[in-house]
Chain A
């Protein structure tokens, strides 16, 4: 691993949503960093704050969301404090995003080639005249057959997999240094998923791009990223190199998540469910550890503010009573 300046470093990010029924503390003190050219994965169940993190960094939070603390440093620029016009320059050029549902994210009344050309003109320093041809080249690069004809097609004329390729082409058009992929393959078939993920990986490698890959699929994350950041109820609970995380998960939640993921080896009886549900983030009496109420390893110390111990190998765990450092496999115990 390089010790160079990370491509993006998020420090102490907290986000509140003001709703009619109270303030939802969606993110609390979220920190992680992604190095240049590295791929990391943000993993967690729905409602854990993965997408909110990405939206906050991109500056596209819902108006109800307020960033209450934290920094997101992209080079020398704090994205969270940047002015709208500074952000508009950075977005698309330095940092790009692939959204979950390509059909709703693409403009339905504009041919896809034009949508790619728009980005090239705005962010890629491409003269207006050359943009359509370069858009066709981009379509070819993401593996669309007959790109000249497809460039004139509208999103509704294309399959889900092809729309996702167009989204990738748009995101990568200006050769950003950081790509955020928010569940890029949810809703696609496994065969298409594999092809799309290969494509993102290959292009990222080619361009030396850092990638933040958001997913709820632990197996997919493990296959595609060097490091995994596990989120639960707006907290980062564990952050470790992929292999180490799977072999020696230290946070009880991570261990249970691994135990719940269907895999080639396990039978249905061996899979363990995670008892309880996410806590209501509107509560004012949220415990410091938001997992403690469903945690099988809860101890008295859990009422103190969360610790953040990081081992020499860069394995961060936010837990007072983590699993020991080197035991084989996940624990078999589960809460009564």
Chain B
């Protein structure tokens, strides 16, 4: 299998206490410059790959750095450190503002969370889908109209709807516009940030089936970000679990969900409500996550909330270790590996 996206040691830090205002200026001056400010480790040393035609899920709770990672990959923000390779092209070298006009911009596209808010309210559906084609493919006139109509019908958006504004469309139709806009320039990698979070179940199914069909038709790779594990499990081949800026577990989706090795993944899976099953797992996380601001590099990020929380978790950060097709960052992964499947 060929690797499409190779992410190596990517970090994204945000200084805290920056921003405007006299107080922030004062702090910056007397703390020894912006480098000395405390930093939020939004994404901390993350590495993974996505193969051609693969669907990879990215799960984790809000604030764990999913969105920052995704924004870094799609080059909407610059990374602090590390490399992002799409095919043979290194993407992380150009600043994001320059990359916005790059030829390879079209190869990696994104579907945002709520199409109602991510589509310009003063653009019709046609304009929204045409915009990337105009900018990246320099299309215009008849060719542009044709291409927009083709993409719209591929996404199941009836052509008369192209002249409507976002507020005149239903949630499902807006989601289709968001998807059509992203695939119009024929990307190789499509990043989907919770594309169905704002939809009802009945519509969600249609959109998920649409995504699966499009993937088969065009051979795209997906990075599917979601906190809804039942959806990730339906769509994804492989899954990455993030916790406070770090990947704590990865592996084939079915295996990870059936037999999670990291205690955080276990709690996550246990918390998913299921039909035909009362009560659910009893594993519950207590307390609040640790602070992501200048975290101690020698303490496991999950320490304190983890039901294990042993002495060594406080002195050594567990490394991501491989177990066959899976990777886990926990000192006690072996013990869970030996437990027979429930």
Q: In the complex, which residues of chain B have a beta carbon less than 8 angstroms from the beta carbon of A261?
A: 201, 275
Q: List, in ascending order, chain A residues with CB within 8 A of B231's CB.
A: 262
A residues 161-199 touching B (CB-CB < 8 Å): 161-162, 189-195, 198
CB closest residue in chain A, given B231? A262
Cα–Cα distance between A311 and B116 once the two chains are bound (Å)? 43
B64-88 interface code vs A (CB 8 A; 1 in, 0 out): 0000000000000000000000000
Bound state CA distance, A201 and B76, in angstroms?
43
Note all chain A residues with C-beta closer than 8 A to B3: none
- Interface stretch, picked from A5-13, A118-126, A252-260, is A252-260
The answer to whether A190 and B200 touch across the interface, beta carbons within 8 angstroms, is no
User: Per a CB cutoff under 8 Å, which of B201, B202, B271, B276 touches A190?
Assistant: B271
Contact check, A264 vs B202: say whether CB atoms are below 8 A apart: no
List the A side residues contacting B268 at CB < 8 Å.
190-191
Is there a chain A Cβ closer than 8 Å to B159's Cβ? no
Mark each residue of chain A from 227 to 270: 1 if its CB lies under 8 Å from any CB of chain B, else 0: 00000000000000001001000000000111011111011110
Question: Interface size on B (CB < 8 Å)?
Answer: 42
Cβ-based interface call for B337 (8 A): no
Residue B153 at the chain A interface, CB threshold 8 Å: no
* B285/A218 in contact, CB under 8 A: no
* Listed stretches B44-52, B128-136, B204-212; interface member: B204-212
Give the shortest distance, in Å, between A107 (CB) and chain B (any CB).
23
CB-based contact B208/A219 at 8 Å = no
Contact with A along B94-123 (1 / 0, CB 8 A): 000000000000000000000000000000
Residues of A within 8 A of B209 (CB): 268-269, 271, 273
Q: Does A309 contact B (CB under 8 A)?
A: no
User: Are the CB atoms of A246 and B280 closer together than 8 Å?
Assistant: no
Residue of B nearest to A44 (CB): B200
Distance between B197 CB and nearest chain A CB, rounded to angstroms:
9
A220 within 8 A of B: yes
A103 within 8 A of B: no
Q: Compute how far the CA of A177 lies from the CA of B241 in the bound complex, rounded to whole angstroms.
A: 41
Is B217 interfacial (CB 8 A cutoff)?
A: no
B294 contacts the other chain (CB 8 A): no
For residue B307, which residues in chain A have a CB less than 8 angstroms away from its CB? none
Is the C-beta of A310 less than 8 angstroms from some C-beta in chain B? no
Say whether B234 faces chain A, with CB atoms less than 8 Å apart. yes
Check B284–A260 contact: CB distance below 8 A: no
Q: B234 and A223: CB pair below 8 A?
A: no
Report the minimum CB–CB distance from B133 to chain A (whole Å). Answer: 29
A239 CA to B334 CA in the complex, in Å? Answer: 48
- A residues near B227, Cβ cutoff 8 Å: 189-190
> Are the C-beta atoms of B170 and A193 separated by less than 8 Å?
no
Is B235 on the interface with A (CB-CB < 8 A)?
yes
- Are A189 and B273 in contact, CB atoms less than 8 angstroms apart? no
User: Are B270 and A194 interface neighbours, CB within 8 A?
Assistant: yes
Residues of B within 8 A of A222 (CB): 273, 275-276, 278
Known: A190-B268, A223-B280. A258 touches B275 (CB 8 A): yes
**When the two chains form the complex, which single residue of A45, A159, A193, A224 contacts B201, counting CB atoms closer than 8 Å?**
A45
Q: 1/0 contact trace for A11-37 toward B, CB 8 Å?
A: 000000000000000000000000000
Q: Known: A189-B62, A191-B267, A195-B285. Is A268-B234 also a contact (CB below 8 A)?
A: yes
Contact of A273 among B171, B203, B270, B271 (CB under 8 A): B203
Q: Are A198 and B234 in contact (CB under 8 A)?
A: no
A216 at the interface (CB under 8 A from B): yes
Let me know if B279 is at the binding interface, CB within 8 A. Answer: yes
Q: Choose among A195, A223, A257 the residue that contacts B278 (Cβ–Cβ < 8 A).
A: A223
Asked if B277 contacts A223 (CB within 8 A), the reply is yes
Q: Which of A45, A198, A261, A277 has the most CB of B within 10 A?
A: A261
- Residues of chain A with a CB closer than 8 A to B288's CB: 145, 159, 161-162
Q: Is the CB of B275 within 8 A of A268?
A: no
The yes or no answer to A160 lying at the interface (CB within 8 A) is yes
Q: Does B300 contact A (CB under 8 A)?
A: no
The CA of A261 and the CA of B200, in the complex, are separated in Å by 10
A153 located at the interface, meaning its Cβ lies under 8 Å from any Cβ of chain B in the complex:
no
| Residue contact B274 to A264, C-beta cutoff 8 Å | yes
Interchain CB contact under 8 A, A273 and B234: no
Q: Does A86 contact B (CB under 8 A)?
A: no
B233 at the interface (CB under 8 A from A): yes
Instruction: Please measure, in the bound complex, the distance between the C-alpha atom of A267 and the C-alpha atom of B231, giving whole angstroms.
Output: 10
Chain B contacts for A273, CB-based, 8 A: 202-203, 205-206, 209
Proximity bits, B186-204, A CB within 8 Å = 1, else 0 = 0000000000000011111
Q: Does A274 contact B (CB under 8 A)?
A: yes
CA distance A263 to B274 in the complex (A): 6
A130 on the interface (CB 8 Å rule)?
A: no
- For the complex, give the distance between the alpha carbons of A106 and B334 in Å: 45
Residues on B with C-beta less than 8 A from A263 are 230, 274-276
Q: What are the 7 tightest A-B residue pairs by CB atom distance, in nearest-first order? A: A274-B202, A189-B61, A194-B271, A262-B230, A219-B273, A220-B273, A45-B200
Known contacts A189-B62, A260-B202, A271-B209; 14 additional CB pairs below 8 A are A159-B288, A190-B271, A190-B272, A191-B271, A191-B284, A217-B273, A219-B275, A257-B202, A262-B201, A268-B212, A268-B235, A271-B234, A273-B203, A277-B170
25 contacts between A and B (CB under 8 A): A45-B200, A46-B200, A143-B286, A145-B287, A189-B227, A190-B268, A191-B61, A194-B280, A219-B230, A219-B274, A222-B276, A222-B278, A223-B280, A224-B273, A262-B228, A262-B231, A262-B234, A264-B233, A264-B257, A268-B205, A269-B209, A271-B208, A272-B205, A273-B205, A273-B209
